[in-house]
Amino acid sequence: MSEPSDDKWTMEENEVFENAIGTNLDDLDEEQLREQLWEKIALLIPSKTTAQISLHYKHLVEDIELIQSGHPPLRYYLKCVEKQEPNTDDDDDDDDDDDDDDDDDDGVGDQSSTTIK
């Protein structure tokens, strides 16, 4: 029963989807162009079918309408995007670079410079 998990969208898949929608807004007005857009997006997100992409768009539109009417979006679209853990490896690299920049001959490290108000 892999079908329920197919409804989950990763943040990356959702970003590709939203970028494709945003750059092809004119294609959404006409049914034939909209179907062609779903096919293009399916090529960019091979794990999704055109039917899943169409449904994802439908739920996005419903959520936008809820937001515009002043109601909180509690629909499928927001729930279906899987939350991903932040990548902490990048933060460690940034901290190492900061240590080198603050290294001067006075012996004061990053910790004391960050506590100065």
Phi, psi (rounded to 5 degrees) for 13: -60, -45
Domains of the chain: 9-80 (1.10.10)
Gap between the Cα atoms of 94 and 58, Å rounded: 40
For residue 22 the two structure tokens come to 């945003």
What the block records as the tokens of 8 is 């989950």
Say what the pTM is: 0.59
**CA distance linking residue 22 with residue 18, whole number of Å:** 6
Label residue 76 by pLDDT band (50, 70, 90): low
CA 26 – CA 41 distance, rounded (Å): 15
Confidence band of 114 (pLDDT split at 50, 70, 90): very low
Q: Which residues pair with 81 in a beta bridge?
A: 9
Number of Cβ atoms within 10 Å of the Cβ of 29: 8
pLDDT of residue 37: 96
pLDDT tops 70 at residue 32: yes
Q: Is 81 helix (H, G, I), strand (E, B) or coil?
A: strand
pLDDT band at 35 (very low <50, low <70, confident <90, very high): very high
What does the buried/exposed string (b/e) look like for 84-96 if buried means 16 or more CB atoms within 10 Å of the residue's CB? Answer: eeeeeeeeeeeee
Q: What percent of the chain has pLDDT over 90?
A: 38
